[in-house]
Structure 1
Amino acid sequence: MDLNEDWSPSDDEIHGGENDVNIRGHSFDLNQLPVEEAGANVHNASGNQHINDSATNQEEQRTNAQATNQGPTHHRHQQVRLNSEDKFNVLIFLLKYHEGDYIKRGAIKAAMEHFNLKRKCVSSVWNEAKKQKQALGKYKPCTNYHLAGRKRITVPVGDITKLGIGERSCIRDVATNLNISKSTVGRMIKRGDIKAHTNAIKPPLTEANKLARLKWILGLIMGSSPWKMSRYFPMYDFVHIDEKWFKLTKKSHRYYIAKNEKGVHRTGSANSHGPKFKFTAACAKPRYNDQGECYFDGRIGIFPFTTQEAAKRKSKNREKGTLISKPIAKVTKEVTRRMLIDQIVPAIKAKWPNDGTSRTIYIQQDNARAHITQDDPEWQEVHMQDGFSFILVQQPPNSPDLNILDLGFFKSIQSLQEKKWPQMLMTYLSM
């Protein structure tokens, strides 16, 4: 007999002595070990010691639980909160056992086992449904589940907009000025109540600049009349060029090191006097065939403003007389002219695809003083050669967004260069 299942004595079942209890016709002495029907404590004929079968059974159960990697089973209902959908599912289950105004015997217990709920919880769903049916004629499984828990801290939008730009530059400043915690500000960001914003300085546009931008855009629309101008030129015959200063290294680098690793010791002059070099980049629009395969990536090249000089003395890095590259101190109109004629134009001719398209190429550049124009005498002598016709065009002033290099190409190159950590100019040029 299992006492854990049958131990439910009532007042009329308890009788006998102080320690004798009669349950369903069986008598037990609580001061002694329980004796099972088959004989838990058995004394053999040879006088051996008693064997505690209850302890043996417990040991076997513990061994079986360890073998199956399962702990003891506890038939306890966890405290749960039912939302509207859960209540509706419980009611649908109970309606299967519905007869008139009552449900069949055992329906509550079946719902308890099916949904792992307590009897009180299942009964409250059924009683609530009966009351609503008598009052309204239909069941509304409303719940206050969404009202449970700590109430959300709300901050009026006006309190945030009243703060100055400098008073909300970080989460700590926002939390301090709004008199709330930083975790509350973090939850507001996660919900989308507030968001981070980066404010960049835009180039100043005068009325003349705006008019020039409008004329530039209208000049790129295909069509001979206003009612036919509905498409832009594909700009496959445009090459964008621009200059960019690259620093050999930046003042501060952030990287991850091992637990016992030491950071790299770097020395150098002031950040404003560090080594930097100027490059000219040229790129065009990529081209794809009918299968979607790229047969021209548009990358013409990157050309540094450097000169070759012989080393005047021997060092650990080179021998005397070795040609070394040095940056040009000042980029003038003559330097850009030679760069354009001697390097950029030959690179375009070598890499331009021969797919039968037009060979009239527009080289777009900004309005820097060192740039030459289409009317330059030396340029007029070389702008038409080998079937190519090169035309220099100036983009509208104060409009870096009209050049793909300024839009993001230079930023990507700078990021890749910082990952390589070049220590010398020759290493920088070979990247």
Structure 2
Amino acid sequence: MRKVSKLRGACASLLIGLIFMIIVKILMESCSQQQEFAAYLNSSYPNLVKFYFLEQNKGLKNNTNFGRNLVSVIRRKMMPAKFLQEESCEIETALYYLRNHKNITIENYEDPFANFTPIGGDDWTFSSTVDCLRNSSTSILEKSNTERKRPYIGCSENDVYMNLIHLSSGSPDQVFQFPSNCLKRVVAKYCKDNLTVPNIVHYIWFGSLSFEFMHFVSFLSAYKYQNPCMILFFHDMLPSGIWWNLLRQTVPNIVLVRVITPTHISGRRIKFIQHKADIFRLQILKEYGGIYLDTDQYILRSLDEFRNNECTMGMAHDGTVGSALIIAARNSRFIQKWIESYRSYDPKSWGGNSVTMATKLTETFPALVRLHRHHCMFFPHGLVLYNQNYKWSHSYAIHIFKNGHINMLKSIDFDTVRKLNNTIGAFFRYILHGNKELCRK
């Protein structure tokens, strides 16, 4: 019996070994095909092979699938000793397609950036400097005390109008209350074009926060690169300070909308002020439609190509749907589903009804939202923004994930941004000066 048992064991081991060799052969062939394709992409996207191997291994660390783990072992032996970090959103996008379309080849690969115009120039070494417009605190204070422009809106029973008027520094702004039927009519008349989503930008400002330079740059980016008909500023109290004053002097189409902040959702008291903004951004988009932006979200190129969809959102680096940038038509069905989900609002859950719920809804109702899965909307990872220079030549927008970096961000102004050698410094300079390069003294 022992001999029979040993014989069976030997046969089983031999069979397992044979199966193992067959699997290795198949996977090696698959790996070879993938390497060939990666090499092809590498001609367009530098360092792609390194990124491909690195990202595959990171994604397979907890994967129990035998075959995939075997591939990761094979690849690990082929990888160079050191890797660059996340380099560019078009590289990460190519990797996304590689990971999710295992049968992809040179013949059937469709480059999502084939007709794309990169921004920021060709040199991303940051080894050269350029002349930048110099601003100082003194000149900013002087400018903030001069005459400024502001929209003046009027509504009658039969018509609405909007004119740009000049105001002296001490003149009060026109302020609307939310919801405003007059504003809804103005949006319909002045902000609608042949696209589904009106070209209007929304910001929310709740609480007595300090309006910093980073906020000024966000508003400027929306004004400069999206060119909206209006920027609606929803607030419970107005900010103050030199950067707020400079913004009102620099961006002429800001319209103030006063808000009574919600205290309860579905009969439950709101615990976090962020939850107030979470639900209110949805109410704004349902009422007017448009482009919602967090105050730490930055626009780097026009979002008009997404305005022909009823609702568009992007994936964040953690795999959830990001809510810092939402593009939606008025009465969007996806936004309505999201609002309805707040019937189960949990005040203790930080993101349960915001990004977590949005992610679930995109899976349940995929036809109601265009989910922008490539990496040029909410990427890169937050650490890449502060520790290195990320190549954002193909990015639409960048979210800077300010939590944990507030003190560093508060130190940035027109002087310090000139020599700030990281991702934030580069795209701040691009927004401010039209050039990402480090500034000469």
Class of the TM-score when normalised by the shorter of the 2 chains: under 0.3
Q: Greater relative contact order: 1 or 2 (C-alpha under 8 angstroms, separation 6 or more)?
A: 2
Q: Which has the higher helix share?
A: 2
- What TM-score, normalized by structure 1, do the two folds share? 0.20
TM-score normalised by structure 2 residue count: 0.20
